[in-house]
Structure 1
């Protein structure tokens, strides 16, 4: 059985503000539909992704800003940093981790630590695949992580 992650519902407090942010970040607007009073759905897809995000009225009961560490993979973290900052998106500096749960496999760390927990400034020293990150948040604090992956682990 194939299970493909298709969509993530994001909790937002202001639909139009979130819509403007994700357009500015370069996500593709797929749908902005109001079915009736009290129901609106806005659907975006990150460039190159098969998984989308959706937000709107009556979409989720989660509090805005609760989703964290939503990963987006890029092949060049420096290019992604430049593009997002060029679009006016506030992003962290590029960082890598000092070690972690998956440290030691070919390519460095697979996941990142929270701020203040082993993050080191700059690109991974060997520019290892899975080793360099940057973060940003939408206006509600929903947190995104960009991770540089130039060569996938076996089975991926």
Structure 2
């Protein structure tokens, strides 16, 4: 049986501010539904993604800004970084991990520039939404077998 990840919930403090931020990234607004003052769901989808992101009021008990390591897979890390920065978002420079496997939490082990061999899965850039939810752009040009 296939099981596809379709929606990720992120915690935000200000729903309208988050909506403006994600729409400003060029993400499609799929829904904005309210049921009174204590329940609101906003759903947005990154370009080309089969998975959407939802946030709102009354959706999660997680602290605003506590989501980390949300990955956006891109075919060209430098072009993607430039596009995000061009939309007014404070995005890190492109980096790779000192260990060469996968980035670590925070900024530990970051080495400036893309992976020296430009290996798929090895180059990153990061940014946060206004609440501090952490996003990572990851360059993947060739998928691992079975992906």
String of CA shifts for 1:73-126, please: whole Å, max 9, x gaps. 000000001111111111000000111xxx5xxxxx2x3112342110001101
For the 8 Å contact 2:74–2:138, the answer to whether it is kept is yes
For the 8 Å contact 1:24–1:89, the answer to whether it is kept is no
- Please list every run of 5 or more consecutive structure 2 residues that lacks an aligned counterpart in the other structure: none
Aligned-partner Cα distance in 2 for 1:67–1:84: 19
Question: Is the counterpart of residue 130 in structure 1 residue 121 in structure 2?
Answer: yes
TM-score (structure 1 length as normaliser):
0.91
Structure 1 residue 7: Cα displacement: 0.4
Tell me the residue number matched to 1:23: 23
Tell me the residue number matched to 1:52: 52
Tell me the residue number matched to 1:106: none
C-alpha spacing 1:44/1:117, structure 2 compared with 1 (3 Å): same
Q: Secondary structure at the match of 1:5?
A: coil
Q: Secondary structure at the match of 1:44?
A: strand
Match of 1:144 among 131, 135, 139: 135
Q: Secondary structure at the match of 1:129?
A: coil
- Please list every run of 5 or more consecutive structure 1 residues that lacks an aligned counterpart in the other structure: 104-108
Aligned-partner Cα distance in 1 for 2:139–2:107: 20
Tell me the residue number matched to 1:9: 9
Q: Secondary structure at the match of 1:8?
A: strand
Tell me the residue number matched to 1:73: 73
Structure 1 residue 33: Cα displacement: 1.2
For the 8 Å contact 1:31–1:42, the answer to whether it is kept is yes
Tell me the residue number matched to 2:36: 36
